[in-house]
Each structure stands twice: as C-alpha cells, then as structure tokens.
Structure 1
C-alpha cells in the first residue's frame, strides 16, 4: 500500500509535465502556422533558405544556384534574358509579415524582392506584384516598384498614399494611368530624406540588409535599418493582400546577385 501511495502522485506529476510540454509545443507551432520551417530565432523569424539546397524554392536553374551558403542569381553572356525571371518560394503565400535578408549585387546588376505577387501564366517563373527594388548602381534600391502592373509606387525617400485611378473599368485604363514609369494616382505625404542622402546608407558591391514590414495596406522598405520608402495602398481594385514571394534577375547585361539569411515572421 505504501508503494502505491508513492506511485500514484508520481504518475499524476508525470501526466502534468507531459501535458505541459504538449501545450508548449502547440503554442510554439501556432506562432508560424503558414510556414513549414521550425527554426525560430529569438525575434520570431523563421529561416526559409537553408544555405545548402534550393528546397522550397522553384526557378530556372540556368540562372539560380547555391554557392558558399548564398542563393545566387547570375546572368552570363551565354544566358541573356528575354524577360525577367524569378526564383519563387514554395512555402506559402504570405499576407502580413516581416522579411529580413542580406543581399550583395554587382554594379551592373538589377534585381528585387517580390511579395504579395501572382504568377504569370504566359511567362515561366515570372511574378506580377509589389517589389522592393535593388540595383547595383543604387538608383532604385529601396523604392517600391510594382512589377508588370502599376510601376513605381514610391521612390526612395517618399511616404506615399496610393489611390485608385479615375474610370478604372475603361479598357486600357491601368496602362494609361502609368506615365514615365510611375503610377499617377498617388499622393506624397512626407519625405523620409533626400534620395541621394539615403543612397549613402547603402553599400556598393557589399552586403546590405533589407527589411520589409508588410502589414495590412502599409508597406515599408528598410535598408541597413533606414526607412527608404513607405506606402499606404488604398487602391482596393489593384492592390493585393497576399501572394507569392520571390527574388529576381532582370533583363539586361550580365549580372550577379547573392542573397543570404532569408528569414520571415508572420504578423
């Protein structure tokens, strides 16, 4: 009887501990419900590129590879592009999130990070949607450019409100509302700094950190901790609230772009 009295409390304790760990595991899993990866850092970010393979990424392997722990996109004289091509994350279609990564681009390079984007059926490995622009000459890096749609939404240094164009149902109205590669239905609310001054915060042909905060209809692009563009998209006809995530190599001369430490956090 004495042995049973000791054993019974031990069994209850064991059940309590097991249940506690089970609840804890469920809570941790629920923190990133739309992302399959399990390595969560102290800030809640999940790595979506392992630095070794292209697992969960899809693109044309003539242009994309893993090299020295980096995701590398390269266009050579023998592989010049007729249209922009992407490597696209297959782990989901994020809606509200933060994304952090590091990039290094050659001076001749042109790239970008697309998000909340849709696939284009007529062009392999192509995306249409928001883009955090990146280029080697640092003319556009940090701006918000909508690939194959509304074009420039916010130049570097701008805080902008995006609105719907007049008569959006008229044929060709979307293209007609883009002039000089910029969406016309937009209001510049404030300045974040002069573009040339912000440019000095971005390192040429060296590693930089891009940090995107995408929450509701507000889209913010940071480079090396500095806010480069900030838009509130009130265009309920053309905006997208979720979609694919991918990185780009652009039509043009031979180029090379490298990405590493690609991490995402759901909001």
Structure 2
C-alpha cells in the first residue's frame, strides 16, 4: 500500500503529540510571594505600639489625621509594628514638614537593653533635604531622603519631592539584600553582611554598636525625631 506524503505527515504529527503528552509536566517552583496586607487601616493605630511599650496606649502625640499616621509634636516616641518580619516588600507614603526629620527603620529588635529603635535597625531616611541641616551632614549625602542613614547616599538626589508633598517609597528586604525605592526610582541597594557592609558600618556612627543589624527578624518603626511627619497607605507583602 502506498502512503501519501500528507498521510505520512499526519502520522509524524500524531507521534509528536503523543510523545509530548507523555512527558510529565513540571511547574516552576520559585518562591511564592504573600498577599499584600495593610499595616494601617486609615482610621486607627491598631497594629502599632510605642517602642518597648507593647500593650500600652500609644502616645497621644501620634494621631490619625486625614487618613495618615501623624506625629503632631515632640515626645511621641517611635512607633513600631506589633508583628515582626523577616523578608518582605514594604510600601509607604510619607510627607515631611519644613525643616523636618524622621525615618523608616527596619529589623528593630525590642529589648530593654536597647533604648532606641535605631540601636538595632538600619534606617531609610525621611528628611526635608532643602532645609534640615542633616542633608549637608554625614558624607556625600548619606543623610538625605532615601539614603541608608549615615551609610549610603541615594543614587538620585532629585527623586525626592519637596517638604509638604507626598513621597512614595518601597523597601525590599530579602535574604540579606535590601533595596530602597523613592518615587519609583531605585536609589539604594546593599547587602547586610560581608566585607562591604562591615566597612560601611565601621565608617558610620554605628561603629561598635552591640546590636546594630544583628537581628534578621524585627519590627518596622516610624521615627519620632521631634518634627511633624505624616505616613499613609502602608502595606507589606512577605516574601
């Protein structure tokens, strides 16, 4: 029996289909990201407490104004999340007053032997770059907005909006690698261990600090630096 070319083609295609169907399917097994979770409901300070004062009322210097966590005056103390986190993406919007200073601090370990959040946690700086003296202190701008405070300056000083305007940041902490984003631009990237990290610490104000960056898991803090500051649209996704 003669086999036509078209019939032979069909046989070959059928064999290929059967062959592919018999290969077991595999699914990429990359790390799954968690769902976005709000850390601020826009109305209350539920989920937050003053550093070293869990279970106690939050200082009345911290208020919710127009859907934002607001430090209204000096003496509020740093706010920290009730929950601790290890690997995550954090998104938050902030607005600083004129001549104002604040910060977003992570890996904060809560222990009475550490009297401040920044004794253990690195800080993403929040600042009025135009008017606050810290912008000209430090080294090469490593105390300006978006910087890893006193250690690494932002790669783009134009990324920040001026005092009184909202800035959006994203902080990614994942297995020792950290990225700072300010208004959509990645401005800082670093790892929290190894020779480069140790060199940065040794050249900063944190040199010799016993607990600084010693805890992979910790709370997230909003700093009271005595100046009015606003935080809103705070959410987190664990990695």
Could you tell me the TM-score, scaled by structure 2's length?
0.65
Could you tell me the TM-score, scaled by structure 1's length?
0.58
SS in 2 for 1:85: coil
The separation in 2 between residues aligned to 1:64 and 1:238, in whole angstroms, is: 26
**Is 1:223 equivalent to 2:175 in the alignment?**
no
Structure 1 gap segments, 5+ residues each: 1-29, 33-43, 146-151, 158-197
- By how many angstroms is 1:153 displaced? 2.6
The separation in 2 between residues aligned to 1:98 and 1:109, in whole angstroms, is: 26
Pairs within 5 Å for 1:122-133: 126-128=117-119, 129-133=121-125
Match of 2:10?
none
Match of 2:161?
203
**Is 1:243 equivalent to 2:218 in the alignment?**
yes
RMSD: 2.4
Match of 2:70?
72
- By how many angstroms is 1:234 displaced? 1.7
Runs of 4+ in 1 over 3 A off after TM superposition: 122-127, 235-239
**Is 1:234 equivalent to 2:193 in the alignment?**
yes
Cα gap change, 1:57 to 1:250, in 2 (>3 Å) = same
- By how many angstroms is 1:241 displaced? 1.3
Once the two structures are superposed, residues 14-37 of structure 1 have per-residue CA deviations (whole angstroms, 9 ceiling, x without a partner) of xxxxxxxxxxxxxxxx975xxxxx
SS in 1 for 2:41: coil
Cα gap change, 1:126 to 1:213, in 2 (>3 Å) = closer
The separation in 2 between residues aligned to 1:131 and 1:55, in whole angstroms, is: 23
Structure 2 gap segments, 5+ residues each: 1-31, 51-57, 136-143, 199-210
The separation in 1 between residues aligned to 2:116 and 2:65, in whole angstroms, is: 21
Larger CA Rg, structure 1 vs 2: 2
Q: How many residues align?
A: 171
Pairs within 5 Å for 1:95-244: 95-121=86-112, 126-128=117-119, 129-137=121-129, 139=135, 140-145=144-149, 152-157=150-155, 198-204=156-162, 205-235=164-194, 239=213, 240-244=215-219
Cα gap change, 1:233 to 1:261, in 2 (>3 Å) = same
Match of 1:40?
none
- By how many angstroms is 1:232 displaced? 1.2
C-alpha contact 1:118 1:127 (8 A) present in aligned 2: no
**Is 1:86 equivalent to 2:86 in the alignment?**
no
Once the two structures are superposed, residues 163-199 of structure 1 have per-residue CA deviations (whole angstroms, 9 ceiling, x without a partner) of xxxxxxxxxxxxxxxxxxxxxxxxxxxxxxxxxxx22
- By how many angstroms is 1:95 displaced? 0.5
SS in 2 for 1:200: helix
- By how many angstroms is 1:126 displaced? 4.0
SS in 2 for 1:144: coil
The separation in 2 between residues aligned to 1:69 and 1:115, in whole angstroms, is: 23
